[in-house]
Structure 1
Amino acid sequence: MNLDLADILLVTTVVIIAALFWRAHGIRERALIYTRKYCEREQVEFLDDTVGMEKLTLQRDGNDKLRITRIYRFEFTVTGGERYSGHTIVMGGVVQRVELPPHRYTPPPEQLH
Structure 2
Amino acid sequence: MNLQLGDIFLVTAVIIIAALFWRSHGIRERALGYTRKYCEREEVEFLDDTVGMDKLALQRDGNGKLRITRIYRFEFTVTGGERYQGHTIVMGGVVQRVDLPPHRYTPPPERLH
* Common fold by TM > 0.5: yes
Q: What is the deviation of 1:112?
A: 9.2
- The separation in 1 between residues aligned to 2:75 and 2:29, in whole angstroms, is 16
Secondary structure of the structure 1 residue equivalent to 2:55: strand
Alpha-carbon distance change, 42 to 111 in structure 1, aligned in 2, over 3 angstroms: farther
Residue type of the alignment partner of 1:68: I
* Identical amino acids, percent of aligned pairs: 88
Residue type of the alignment partner of 1:53: M
Q: What do you get for the CA RMSD once the two structures are aligned?
A: 1.4
- The separation in 2 between residues aligned to 1:78 and 1:112, in whole angstroms, is 23
- The separation in 1 between residues aligned to 2:36 and 2:69, in whole angstroms, is 20
Moved more, 103-112 or 36-45: 103-112
TM-score (norm 2): 0.97
TM-score (norm 1): 0.97
1:1-113 alignment to 2 at 5 Å?
Answer: 1-110=1-110
The 4+ residue runs of structure 1 with deviation greater than 2 A are 110-113
Unaligned runs of 5+ in 1: none
Unaligned runs of 5+ in 2: none
Q: How many residues align?
A: 113
Q: What is the deviation of 1:109?
A: 1.4
